[in-house]
Structures are given as C-alpha cells and as structure tokens.
Amino acid sequence: MKWMNRHARKHAPLALAAWLLAPPALLASDFADSVHVGTLMALHEPSGQVVGDGSLLELREVGPGIQPIREDGAANPINTLIDCFQMGAGVIRPGSGTFSAGVSDLGAVRYFVRAYSAATVGESTYYADSEPFDLSDIDGARRTVVVSFPSRVMRAIQPCPDADADGLCDDEEAAHGSDPNLWSTAGDDFSDKFKVDHGLDPTLPYAFEIALESDVVSNPLASANKGEPPFVQLFDVVWHAVSGMTYRVEFAPSLQNFAEGADVWSVQTVVPRQTGDYALPVDDWVHQLDPAILAHPSPMGFFRVLAVPPMRNPQHP
C-alpha cells in the first residue's frame, strides 16, 4: 500500500454522516394477513464473500426433518416448497447479504429458508439452511420473523476435497499456486477463494495504491454570502476497490499519529456493486484540520485506506 500526502486548503464542509453505514433493516408489513420473513445477519460463501443480491431463497416446510440437497442438486421432496424470493429483497442496503420477504397463508407447521449462492439451483455451488421456525416465532406487533443461519457460512452442494475449507477445491488451489492447507496462503486474512473470485493473486497479500485527487469548482454559497470565496477546492481519496468490500479510511495530520493511535479520524464505507476505481469525498476532513496547520502555506495530512476482511479467518480465531 502506498501513502500519498497532498496540499490542502480550507473549503465548504461536507457532512460525514452520509458516509456512515446504514444497518440492514426488515421492512414492516402493511398487510395483517402476511408476515415478513428475513434475516439481520449477513450470509457468506466459504470464501468470505457475502451472498449476492438476486441469489435464490426458498421457503420450505420442515416436515419430518430437514433433508440435505442430494449430490445432483435436487431437494428432498419431503421438504415441500412453499415460496421463492431473492437475497437483497426488501432491505435498505444493497449487497448486505440479508433479505426481507412477505409471505402469506402460513399454516401451523414448521418452516425453514434454504439459501443458494446463485439465482438458480443449477448455477449454485453452495447452499445453507436456516434454523426452523413456526407461527409462535412471529413478532405479533411487527408481523416479522427473523430467521438465523447457524454458521452464517454456506456449504458445498457437491463437496470436493478442500483441506483448508476456504471454498477453493484442492485441485483449484494447485492451479492457482496457493496452499491447499491454508485458508489464506498470504496470511492476510483474505481467503484464497475470495481472491480468486475477484481476480487477485491468492499467493500475495491484498494491497492497493491510494491517491488524493482534488478539483476546484464554483462555490454555490458565494452568490448569497459575499464573505464566501467564489471557488472551493474539493478532495477525493481514490483507490481500486472490490465490489461489496468494506474499507476503513483514516486521516491524521502526521504519520506519527497513526503509530500512536491519537488524533486519527476514520470512517468505514462499503463499495457499491462494481469493482474498479472508487472515489470517497474527504472535503470535511481537510476542512477540519487544526487552524495552525491550515494557516501554513503548505498544510499537510496523511490518508490511508485499510481493507476489512469480509469474515474471520478460522485459522486465526
């Protein structure tokens, strides 16, 4: 990772609140005879990747018991299919690995949700079954049922030898040069499967360059307030980001602040669906520099961007 410092000037502030993550939330039902079934905790593939929006979800009856998917991908017929919906439906934040779906006419039996890693069973490599629930689990006032997946990590529909349980088969590990006995060959807590899925080398630590870009634009406040400058300088921190990843952006007046953990400003942001160059506005941070620094002809500060692993490495509890 490279660190880059740039000159900064005072300009109009931008609210930081817009960058804070909005937690996924279930939507309340408008119909007394329907129930919203959903989850608040993200579901992951073995690689650590959050299950994508649009992936298939099935509501099924438990019957005599939940039967696993057969090796041909078919569900056991005793778990009757009640309804189908999609990951990401009815929630506030896209790409959260959560869902909220309206269901009507539930009977006095037990149900479970089966989640797949793709839009169809045939396209899916992994699946997961929720804990069973019934009508007694419904929040009467909100008409919701919050379901949970025991491990929050999917399992393979057709298991292949995978010694380190990272979701990458041992023969695939050999093809990519990664260690089949290490969940993260590079030791950076990003699984080998995660890196392969995102076009990264699983044998190397996940690293990227960042830059601070600036632009001078007309000040919309200048016409109403003669004390405002006619132009303002805006700043963006830019880096090549992976879709759906969480990054922590930090700023400090000096490198020593990072080492000491003092006077470091930080915020977490989730990159939208498209992988590529991502720009995060940081005008407010530059604006809030100490007046003594801002008064200097060449004020300085340092930004850094840290990638947050999508899930805990089981080899590093």
- pLDDT (tens digit, 9 = 90+) per residue, 264-290? 888 888 777 677 889 988 877 766 655
Domain boundary among 138, 159, 180: 159
Decide if 240 is inside a domain.
Answer: yes
Residues 146 and 222 in one domain: no
- Spatial distance between the Cα atoms of 284 and 164, rounded to a whole number of angstroms: 44
The whole-number pLDDT of residue 169 equals 85
**Tens digits of per-residue pLDDT, 116-150?**
999 998 888 889 999 998 878 887 677 788 899 98
Q: Which domain holds residue 273?
A: 208-308
Q: Which residues contact 181 (CB under 8 A, 6 or more apart)?
A: 163, 164
Decide if 21 is inside a domain.
Answer: no
Which residue, among 197, 241, 238, 188, has the nearest Cα to 214 in the 3D structure? Answer: 238
**Tens digits of per-residue pLDDT, 93-118?**
888 889 998 888 777 788 999 999 99
**Length of the chain, please?**
317
**Tens digits of per-residue pLDDT, 240-253?**
988 778 899 998 87
Contact 118, 127 (CB under 8 A): no
Decide if 199 is inside a domain.
Answer: no
Which residue, among 52, 30, 85, 68, has the nearest Cα to 243 in the 3D structure? Answer: 52
**Tens digits of per-residue pLDDT, 178-214?**
999 999 999 998 999 888 888 889 999 999 999 988 8
CATH number at residue 285: 2.60.40
Residues 118 and 215 in one domain: no
Q: Please tell me the total count of domains within the chain.
A: 2
